[in-house]
Amino acid sequence: MQFSECAGTMLVGGFRGMRFFRSASFLITLLLATSQAQAQANLVITGIVQDQTGAAFLGAQVDLLRDGRQDRTTTTDVSGAFRFERLQPGNYEVRTQKEGFKTGISKVTVGNRSPGRLRIVLSIENLNQQITVNDDTPDVSTDASDNRDVAAVDRQALDNLPIFD
């Protein structure tokens, strides 16, 4: 009888142990899933925008696109840095614009971890100037009535001018 009581206790203790193990396993899985979701919610894309000499751009416009649609926009700070936070994993495109420079495009894949810091170098935009010359010039005239800046003075006005020696 002692053996069956002992076996019964082991069976009950074993069942309790099994239930505890399942509860602990569920709790650990839940915590891991929560921490992974929090880690994914904290994914960021950071970078710096510079010209060809390495000088930073203040106020360059940086657009973040996901699946071809604009997701967010920011501008660079004094050091040329930008940051997009709380991203979901996926494929992104970072477009950088500054007047007088070509648009910079960088493709970025965000996985379970944030990608490394981007370094975007903008090159000077091609300068095109166009001058049009035509022969639609007005005729030049020496006639005083055609001159817009004429000041007509008669003989008496000239004679009345004071003379300084």
Task: Spell out the per-residue pLDDT of the chain, length 165, in tens.
Answer: 454 444 444 444 555 656 666 665 655 665 555 445 444 568 999 999 999 999 999 999 999 999 889 999 999 999 999 999 999 999 999 999 999 999 999 999 999 999 999 999 999 988 778 888 877 766 777 776 676 676 778 888 888 888 887
Report how far residue 47's alpha carbon sits from residue 39's, in angstroms, rounded to the nearest whole number: 20
Q: β-pairing, 43-50 with 81-87? A: antiparallel
Number of helical (H) and strand (E) elements in the chain, helices listed first: 2, 7
User: What residue has token string 């170098």?
Assistant: 121
Give the pair of three-digit tokens for residue 109.
């894949």
The Cα–Cα gap between 15 and 92 comes to: 51
